[in-house]
Structure 1
C-alpha cells in the first residue's frame, strides 16, 4: 500500500507543509522562514554568522507521530541516517545532531547555544509506541527556495517502510512580519 502524501498550509504557522500518512505513522514537514530561524537561534546565543549558517540551510519543523490504533498497536522506529535528500540530480544524507555537534565545537559556538541547538533538532534515532510523538527541526543543507525530494525510511513492527515526499520546497528568504503570514 502506498503512503498518502498530503500538502497544504499549516494552520498554526500558515506556512506550507508536506506530510506522509500511512497506517500507524504520520510524518509532517513544515517550512520555517529563514528570519524565524535567525531570530530563534540568535536568541539562544548564536552569533549572527552562525545563525545565518543555520537560516540559509533549509530548515523545517518536523512532527513524527505513531498513530497506530489501540486495536492494532505498532512500534515505529527511525534513523535519520537512513533518509535521503534528492536535489539537482544528486543524492545525499542528512546532517544529524552528532554532525552538527562537531561543527559547533570547531566553530567554538557557546556551550549554551550548542545545547539549545541540539535540543531543537529532531533526534537522530527514536522509537515510538502507540500515541507517542515528537517534533524538532531538520536542516537539509540547501539554499532558500530550493526544491527537493526526500526519501523517508522507518521500521514498523520490525519491517522497513519507505515513502518519498516529492517537490518539497525550502522557504524563500523573504522578510515578513509575523502578522504578514
Structure 2
C-alpha cells in the first residue's frame, strides 16, 4: 500500500501543480492582454494626435490657398481696371473712337459712383431733416425725434464711409522699384 499512497499523493501533487501552472498562465495571459490593450489605446491616442495635426495642417494650407486665390482675383480685378481697350489696337477711326469712349466711361465709373453716393447721403440727410421739420415733432418728444434722426444719420454715414474707404482703400499699392 505504500506504493499506492505514493502514487495518489504524487498524482494529487501533480494535479495541484497543474492547476497552479494553469492559474499562473491565465494570470500571465490576462496581464499580457491588459498590456496589449493599453498599448493599443496609446497607439490610438498617437494616431488621433497625428490626424489632428494633419487636419490642422491641411486646414492651414487650404486657408493660405484661399487667401492666395483671393489676392490673385483682386490683382486681376485691378488689372482689368487699368486695362485700356483702345491701346495698341489697329482699328478704323469710328471703332477707335468707340474704344476710347469705353475707356473713358470705365475710368469714370468709380469716381462717379463715389460722387453720387456722397450726394445721395447728403440728399437723404436733407430729406430726413425736412420731414422732421414738417412734422414739428408732434406726437414725439424731442429726444425721440433726435434719436430717430441720429440713427438714420449714423446708418447713412456708416454706409457711405464704408463704401468710399473700401473703394479707395483696396487700390493696389505701387511697387517702388
The two structures have a TM-score, normalised by structure 1, of 0.20
* TM-score, normalised via structure 2 length: 0.20
Structure possessing the higher radius of gyration over alpha carbons: 2
By relative contact order (CA 8 Å, sep 6+), the higher-ranking structure is: 1
